[in-house]
Amino acid sequence: MRVHRRTILYVAVAAAFSIITTACGSLAATNTDSSSSITNQDGRLPVTESQPIVGTGGELIPIASDNVSAAGYDAAAQVMTVVFYSGAVYEYAPVESDLWQAFLAAQPHPWSAVGKPGLVDAGVPYRRIQ
């Protein structure tokens, strides 16, 4: 049985993405605003609503795709970075968090399903950074 390098790469990227999304999901479930120093009578912090973590803080994560190797999203700046297997790196802004989440959910075809129509065809400003 002959295994191609691209198949091995795809499996490795998919596994890494699974680990990252599982870790991020755990963080999102426990992230609360603990900036308050006021405690209840029993010494516990008051209950606050948790804020989900959206994006990667600009860090690149592996993407399972035929043409996109990695991507990242900075929710505060609304900047999405896309790294293609060709070596080209683009930044798109402003990008709503919904588009980033749809991009991740569209794997293994995030560029053709979401990226090109939601970024390029929609006219989102971009710059090539590499």
pLDDT higher than 50, residue 91: yes
pLDDT higher than 50, residue 96: yes
Mean of pLDDT values over 92-111: 97
- Tens digit of pLDDT for each residue in 5-26? 444 444 444 444 444 444 444 4
Q: Could you give the CA distance from residue 61 to residue 58 in angstroms, rounded to a whole number?
A: 9
pLDDT value for 54: 82
- Distances, alpha carbon 42 to alpha carbons 35, 37, 38, 50, 62, in Å: 18, 14, 11, 21, 44
Strand order in the sheet with 89-92: 61-62, 68-74, 79-84, 89-92, 126-128
pLDDT value for 51: 54
DSSP 78: T
Domain coordinates in residue numbering, the chain:
5-128
- Tens digit of pLDDT for each residue in 34-90? 444 444 555 554 544 555 668 999 999 999 999 999 999 999 999 999 999 999 999
Q: Could you give the CA distance from residue 126 to residue 111 in angstroms, rounded to a whole number?
A: 15
